[in-house]
A and B are shown apart, each in its own frame.
Chain A
């Protein structure tokens, strides 16, 4: 799992770790039942205080995405994949909404926005189909 923390980004290091792990799970890089890195290991990888990683793990546990198993580590919960996808879809929708609002505020017409979205979709070169299950939120 490649994860980075960048202090020049707006969100706090702890939130960046939460988002990075949600993203890894939603993309399938980390599956249900798989173990997360140790707090100490991930802290050394992304170069932040281990307390920050521990806080991110607690927040993920509160979301129901991961579960701590006493003495053996932190694992992706069975329901975690679904929750992570939902969380990520929610975040992406919020990003899209912000982009559309910014476009409208700059004077883009409805047609221009649609054209622009079509152009971006064409430029990515592939029309991805929805994940096999749990696409709706």
Chain B
């Protein structure tokens, strides 16, 4: 239910790497308690937007708010309330999962060791190998377990299913559905997997040429065509990118 309040908000955000503009006045709101699937071609700026919301990058212009906090000014508070899954496992290669979690236990104010244990068990994360020896799927599952351990109100997920084998993909998806059933959470998830976008998204946002071109409830974005929901999203994505479909 939309309350008019948005847990995640970006207004007129501009960002460039060097001379190349990437985000050119992007605005997006994710209503509290809802999940928005962020779609767009490779390199269009989806990861950048998530990093800006986490305070890992600084915008040239515009306003970003997560739970009312400024990602740069309130970085510490915000990072304690937001679960972030980066697009690749982010840990020292020599570390094993229990060591990474001991590090978080010291540095994360809301770390919950019992939840970390329960989620690694549910996701089948191996505890006895270093990150160097983990598959991409195992690494991403570890990142998700770490993100869920503090029971965050907000999840920012950067391509969590990318490059996973079908079994790992299904396990990640089921874990996310389980996490959404635990409590009300606001989620922004970037993905190329359109069937998963249709399963997870209350809303869909399409990023193209530096701005959000299309945003709305899933049922409105896919329309009432004859093709499947996932196919309708693919067509929509292609037409936003100026392709003839």
**A residues in contact (CB < 8 Å) with B:** 5-15, 39-40, 43-44, 47-52
Known A13-B229, A49-B180, A50-B180; contact A5-B199, beta-carbon cutoff 8 A:
yes
User: Taking the complex as formed, is B198 at the interface, i.e. its CB lies under 8 A from any CB of chain A?
Assistant: yes
- Chain A contacts for B35, CB-based, 8 A: 49, 51
B228 touches A50 (CB 8 A): no
Q: Which of B195, B202, B228 contacts A10 (CB 8 A)?
A: B228
Closest to B33 in A: A51
Please indicate which of the listed interface residues A6, A7, A10, A52 has the most CB atoms of chain B within 10 Å of its own CB. A7
Asked if A7 and B229 sit within 8 Å, CB to CB, the answer is yes
Which of chain A's residues has its CB closest to B220's CB? A12
Q: Which of B222-244 contact A (CB under 8 A)?
A: 222, 224-232
A8-B174 in contact (CB<8A): no
How distant is the Cα of A8 from the Cα of B195 in the complex, in angstroms? 7
Which positions in B face A, CB cutoff 8 Å? 33-35, 173-174, 177-178, 180-181, 194-195, 198-202, 218-219, 222, 224-232
Q: Is the beta-carbon distance between A52 and B202 smaller than 8 angstroms? A: yes
Contacts of A48 in B (CB 8 A): 177, 199-200
In Å, the complex CA distance between A12 and B202 comes to 10
Taking the nearest CB of chain A, how far is it from the CB of B167, in angstroms?
14
Give 16 pairs: A residue, B residue, CB < 8 Å, sorted on A.
A6-B228, A7-B198, A7-B230, A8-B228, A12-B219, A43-B177, A43-B181, A44-B177, A44-B178, A47-B174, A47-B199, A48-B177, A48-B200, A49-B202, A51-B35, A51-B180
A51 closest partner in B (C-beta): B202
Q: A10-B226, A40-B181, A50-B177 are in contact. List 17 more A-B contacts (CB 8 A).
A: A7-B194, A7-B198, A8-B228, A8-B231, A10-B225, A12-B219, A12-B229, A13-B198, A13-B218, A14-B219, A43-B180, A44-B177, A47-B173, A47-B177, A48-B199, A48-B200, A50-B180
Counting chain A CB atoms within 10 Å of each CB, which of B34, B173, B229, B230 scores highest? Answer: B229
- Note all chain B residues with C-beta closer than 8 A to A51: 33-35, 180, 202
Q: Which residue of B lies closest to A53 (CB)?
A: B181
Q: Tell me the smallest distance from the CB of A12 to a CB of chain B, in Å.
A: 4
Give which listed residue, A9, A10, A40, A49, contacts B199 with CB less than 8 A. Answer: A49
Give chain A residues whose Cβ lies under 8 Å from the Cβ of B194: 7
What residue of chain B has the Cβ atom nearest to residue A45's Cβ?
B177
Q: Are B201 and A10 in contact (CB under 8 A)?
A: no
What residues of chain A lie closer than 8 Å to B232, measured between beta carbons? 10
Q: Which residues of B contact A10 (CB under 8 A)?
A: 224-229, 232
Complex Cα distance A47/B174, Å?
6
State in angstroms the CA–CA spacing of A76 and B34 once bound together: 27
Cα A15 to Cα B229 in complex, Å, equals 11
Residues of B near A47 (CB, < 8 A) are: 173-174, 177, 199
Write out the residue numbers on chain A whose beta carbons fall within 8 Å of the beta carbon of B199: 5, 7, 13, 47-49
Q: What is the bound-complex CA distance between A11 and B229, given in angstroms?
A: 7
